[in-house]
Amino acid sequence: MNFIENGTVTSPVGFKGAGICGSVKPSNTTKKDIALISSDVLCNAAAVFTKNLVKSSAIIVTQRNLQNGKAQAVVVNSGNANTCNADGEEKAERMCSLAAQYLGIDKNDVIAASTGVIGQPLPIEPFEKSIPVLAENMSENGGTDVAEAIMTTDTVKKEAAVQVEIDGKTVTIGAVAKGSGMIHINMGTMLSFVTTDAAVSAEMLKAALVEAVEKSYNMVSVDGDTSTNDTLAIMANGLAGNNEIVCRDSNYKIFTQALTELCKTMAKKLAADGEGATKLLVCSVNGAKTDIDAKGAAKSVICSSLVKAAMFGSDANWGRVLCAIGYSGCDIDVSKVDVSFISKAGKVDVCKNGAGIEFDEDIAKTVLSENEITIDILLNDGKGSAEAYGCDLTYDYVKINGDYRT
């Protein structure tokens, strides 16, 4: 498996994309805010969604459209979540109909997604104006425009692609994602779309997606808020020419491993670009009784506001890490816990067998001053392991969210 340099969601064979400023966002901006992704042929498709009871109307429409496990395009906007609106489903259906009309496909084969402010009516005029233009400008090089068009408070675009060999054929998987705040993922991510030219049945595609998301997107937390719009969708068009993956055989394992590594890469991009963040935090837990215990402990640490604040201040306050492990609800013997902080500046051990040990505060501050920190936890109680991804908590997070709507 290898990552493609400058890979995008349109890197797989047969996929095209485009993104433009359609003025869904305030009229005084020129930022892209409407995008299309399409396949040359009908795809097997699958998706996972937020578990928040309050859901975007785009999710409701997309769930209906994916009941047959088929899709051929994605229409997506930023700037408006289309959530808690009386006419939301009607607007989402209209998005799909417009995309289908100008792409020449069935409206039921379109995935719709929206992100932005909750509770404001979604204007349909920008779609009526922009979708014909997008359809005319679909390109294999349009992936980056898609990545830019789905950004809200994101400061950088998030895209990547990997290649693996299956049945002697080169298979490509591409991904695009957005997300910076309101991220405490309980299914997928704020928004993420994955494309592949692999031949995979809809059933196996869903199975692979669920496996991948549990080790990647579902291990991300920026602020503890689960979005109303979380959508992670994948389309597989089969144009790579491999034999279709229809069971959990060795080819399924190769594909799922590649998909998982791609999703982990995207998850880290999301965490690193958390609203106001200055540091990516990776919590690595090993030696747990089970993988479930490891996941629970890692997620608890990465979600701790006190840990996140300490990391912002480059303060080796390891007691906050132990505290978060202690309230995780997992089966852990705290008297066996070891903790270290690691970055490219080095490693500092701060806790052994659940108790503090002497360490150099200056060295610790140097280690924690880097922009990527690993909180390394060894539970010494089994073979379970997991990683979780988050970011530091800064003054700017409050500034950004204090007037997000206005």
Catalytic residue numbers read 189
The DSSP symbol for 350 reads E
Yes or no: say if 377 and 321 are a contact pair by the CB < 8 Å rule. yes
Q: Are strands 231-236 and 191-196 parallel, antiparallel or unpaired?
A: parallel
Alpha-carbon distance of 11 to 175, in angstroms, equals 9
375: part of which helix (H) or strand (E)?
Answer: strand 372-378
Helices 291-303 & 305-312, crossing angle to 10 degrees?
60
First to last CA, the chain: 45
Q: Taking the CB of residue 41, how many other CB atoms lie within 10 A of it? A: 9
Alpha-carbon distance of 108 to 137, in angstroms, equals 22
Alpha-carbon distance of 24 to 55, in angstroms, equals 20
